């Protein structure tokens, strides 16, 4: 069994980190496809106020254990070369990335399908919560749709 990986990053996930993650795979010549999902904080309007950012919190031990279970399940069902997941904690402003999922496989269908399933599983079952912070500093707990 693989060890449990820490998926959490304090603050937003930088474009440079994402680019570097992609570049590090150039030497892995058995890979024929990558699928990438970037979750970006959007400036929703709620009750006449614009979302300025989201403050993410998590029950980290449980979230890391659950992510490990998701990872193991996906690897048993898809022919993947690798999978990387990074999720923000703390404040992420609108326009910044809070979730980065990166799957690689010999063929595109496995990379795409696995990436999609990982994102849906994270949204459905990871104990991570987001508190929307509005321009006027009011807050509201975000509900996933």
Domain boundaries of the chain, sorted by first residue:
8-23+30-140
Cα gap 110→121, rounded to integer Å: 16
Catalogue the long-range contacts made by 26-29 (C-beta closer than 8 Å, 24 or more residues apart).
28/81, 28/82, 28/104
Closest CA relative to residue 86, chosen from 94, 70, 97: 97
CB atoms under 10 Å from CB of 12, counted, come to 19
Q: pLDDT tens digits for the chain (145 residues)?
A: 568 899 999 999 999 999 999 999 999 999 999 999 999 999 999 889 999 999 999 999 999 999 999 999 999 999 999 999 999 999 999 999 999 999 999 999 999 999 999 999 999 999 999 999 999 988 989 876 6
pTM of the predicted structure, to 2 decimals? 0.94
Please count the residues of the chain.
145
Q: State the CATH architecture for 8-23+30-140.
A: Alpha-Beta Complex (3.90)
pLDDT of 145: 62
Cα gap 112→101, rounded to integer Å: 11
Give the chain's end-to-end CA distance (angstroms, integer). 33
- The phi and psi torsions of 103 (rounded to 5 degrees) equal -115, 145
Instruction: Identify the DSSP state of 2.
Output: P
Question: Hunting for tokens 């508190």 — which residue is that?
Answer: 131
Strand segments (E) across the chain: 8-10, 33-40, 45-46, 49-58, 82-93, 97-105, 128-134, 139-141
pLDDT of 144: 66
């Amino acid at each position: 069994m693989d060890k449990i990986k820490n998926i959490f990053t304090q603050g937003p996930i930088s474009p440079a980190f994402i680019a570097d993650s992609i570049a590090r795979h150039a030497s892995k010549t058995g890979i024929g496809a990558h699928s990438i999902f970037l979750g970006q904080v959007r400036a929703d309007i709620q009750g006449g106020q614009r979302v300025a950012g989201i403050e993410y919190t998590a029950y980290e031990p449980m979230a890391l254990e659950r992510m490990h279970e998701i990872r193991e399940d996906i690897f048993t069902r898809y022919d993947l070369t690798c999978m990387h997941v990074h999720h923000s904690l703390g404040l992420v402003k609108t326009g910044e990335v809070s979730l980065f999922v990166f799957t690689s496989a010999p063929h595109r269908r496995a990379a795409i399908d696995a990436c999609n399933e990982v994102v849906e599983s994270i949204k459905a079952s990871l104990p991570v919560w987001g508190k929307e912070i509005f321009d006027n500093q009011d807050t509201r707990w975000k509900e996933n749709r």
